[in-house]
Amino acid sequence: MDKTLAHLQELDAADPLRHVRDRFRLPDGAVYLDGNSLGPPPDTAQAHLEQAVTEWRERLIAGWFEAGWAEAPMRVGDRLARLVGASPGEVVVSDSTTVDLYKLIVAALDAQPERRAVVIQPDDFPTDRYVATSLTSRTPGVEVRQVDPDRVSEALDEHVALVLLSHVGYRTGRLLDMRELTRAAHDAGALVLWDLSHSAGALPVDLGACDVDLAAGCTYKFLNGGPGAPAFLYVARRLAGRLGNPIPGWFGHADTFAFAERYAPAAGARRFLTGTPGILGLAALEGALEVWDGVDLRQVREKSSRMGDVLIALIDEACAGRGVTVVSPREAVNRGSQVSISVARAGEVTGRLAERGVVADYRPPDVVRFGLTPLYTRYVDLAAAGEALRSVLDELTARAAP
Ligand SMILES: *Cc1c(COP(=O)(O)O)cnc(C)c1O
């Protein structure tokens, strides 16, 4: 693997996505390898947000209809649908990922009263485990089975209502086989719910082709929607009519502004809306999604895979013999858009990297995570990260020496 600076500069010059970086204004000199935690604002996100504030001032209450606020969760969902292989009406944007997971897990259990088990991953993102596990004490008979993704099929039987999996693991970046695992769940008669927080906007996702039932994910990571931007949820069209929202509110009603006496669910994923959507957050996200127009996710994936290979090679070189382990899969096909290392004093390493202008993430107890976001990360940034890591390890070793 050629990882000389000259070669990395050549890769940047030949990068078909290099113009997209101009739509982000990153702080000068920043090597931001943390867009998988919080993406930076594209210029269009700020423009849409400012426009929404102007509409709020000028139209006041009339904005709900005249400025399209009432339809925003569906409109933005349709825009996002293309990025995850969904059809119009199958994606809505609302609430947080945690809340959306709750709604979808409960809906899946309610729809299959004869099945009471939910399969989850023991190393999944904490909130996914918390919200799934909480149901065991709240809903009589519900059982949570924690199994490694390699052993999902062993946990599947006629009691399983739902399999909840993260497409890309937040800690190691391991990418699971969506098609295969969805098929395994279906073969056992269970539904499947994919958390796409680390794959939406990071790689091509095809929920339709993989016959996925349910999905949810963040929009503030690879989708750059802004801090706490509303999450998205997906319900396959074939399934929506069978599922009920456990928090049925007026925005999921078939006719929100009729103020009807009784609740009647809207068609499609829209029934999973609950209360009044946060329009300012939706506006920023709607603007942020514009940067994807004309972007081919296969090119994003290709660049991300190559960047991962380069970064792993640079880390191997910078860290040889220093107790650092790459914990992300080394083969790009099994890796999402990040490279994680396990290292002693990982929190301190992350802090010292930041002092050198390289922003990564610390995930306790021992992981430093470098996010790769091909819309604005350059190959030369990886060289800077490798150099910074080498220098931090030098410093820590020198300090530890007697
Ligand atoms: C980031 C992330 C979340 C965050 O959930 P919020 O409700 O938005 O805070 C959930 N699940 C996974 C897998 C994540 O990576």
Q: What is the pTM of this model?
A: 0.97
Active site residue 195: yes
Cα(202)–Cα(181) distance, rounded to whole angstroms? 20
Atom of ligand 1 at shortest distance to CA of 218?
Answer: 8
Answer whether 185's CB lies under 8 Å from 161's CB. no
- In the reported structure, the alpha carbon of residue 35 is separated from the centroid of ligand 1 by a whole-number distance in angstroms of 14
Burial class from Cβ neighbours inside 10 Å (0-12, 13-18, 19+) for residue 56 reads middle
Answer whether 174's CB lies under 8 Å from 168's CB. yes
The dihedrals phi and psi of 371, each to the nearest 5 degrees, come to -85, 140
pLDDT tens series, the chain, 402 aa: 888 999 999 999 999 999 999 999 898 888 999 999 999 999 999 999 999 999 999 999 999 999 999 999 999 999 999 999 999 999 999 999 999 999 999 999 999 999 999 999 999 999 999 999 999 988 889 999 999 999 999 999 999 999 999 999 999 999 999 999 999 999 999 999 999 999 999 999 999 999 999 999 999 999 999 999 999 999 999 999 999 999 999 999 999 999 999 999 999 999 999 999 999 999 999 999 999 999 999 999 999 999 999 999 999 999 988 889 999 999 999 999 999 999 999 999 999 999 999 999 999 999 999 999 999 999 999 999 999 999 999 999 887 776
Active site residue 125: yes
> How many CB atoms are closer than 10 A to CB 301?
17
Q: How do beta strands 338-342 and 325-326 pair?
A: antiparallel
Which of 95, 98, 131, 199 to mutate for ligand 1's pocket (most ligand atoms within 8 Å of CB)? 98
Catalytic residue among 3, 115, 221, 303: 221
Give the closest residue to 351 by CA, choosing from 298, 400, 388, 303.
Answer: 388
Active site residue 32: no
Structure tokens at 399: 């300090």
The residues lining ligand 1, judged by C-beta closer than 6 Å to any ligand atom, are 96-98, 125, 127-128, 166, 170, 195, 197-198, 218, 231
Give the closest residue to 92 by CA, choosing from 110, 107, 73, 105.
Answer: 73
What strands, in cross-sheet order, belong to the sheet with 143-146? 91-93, 232-235, 214-217, 191-195, 160-166, 117-120, 143-146
Residue carrying the six token digits 């925005």: 251
User: Which residues, in sequence order, are CB contacts of 253 under 8 Å at separation 6+?
Assistant: 260, 263, 264, 265, 266
- In the reported structure, the alpha carbon of residue 216 is separated from the centroid of ligand 1 by a whole-number distance in angstroms of 9
In terms of DSSP H, where are the helices of 139-209?
152-155, 178-187
Measured CA distances, 112 to 68, 142, 190, 287, 383 (Å)? 36, 12, 9, 39, 52
- In the reported structure, the alpha carbon of residue 228 is separated from the centroid of ligand 1 by a whole-number distance in angstroms of 10
- In the reported structure, the alpha carbon of residue 309 is separated from the centroid of ligand 1 by a whole-number distance in angstroms of 26
Answer whether 217's CB lies under 8 Å from 195's CB. yes
Active site residue 369: yes
Which of 170, 171, 223, 285 to mutate for ligand 1's pocket (most ligand atoms within 8 Å of CB)? 170
Catalytic residue among 24, 32, 102, 125: 125
Which residue, judged by its Cα, is nearest atom 15 of ligand 1? 197
Give the closest residue to 181 by CA, choosing from 204, 213, 146, 222.
Answer: 213
Residue 242 three-state SS = coil
Active site residue 34: no
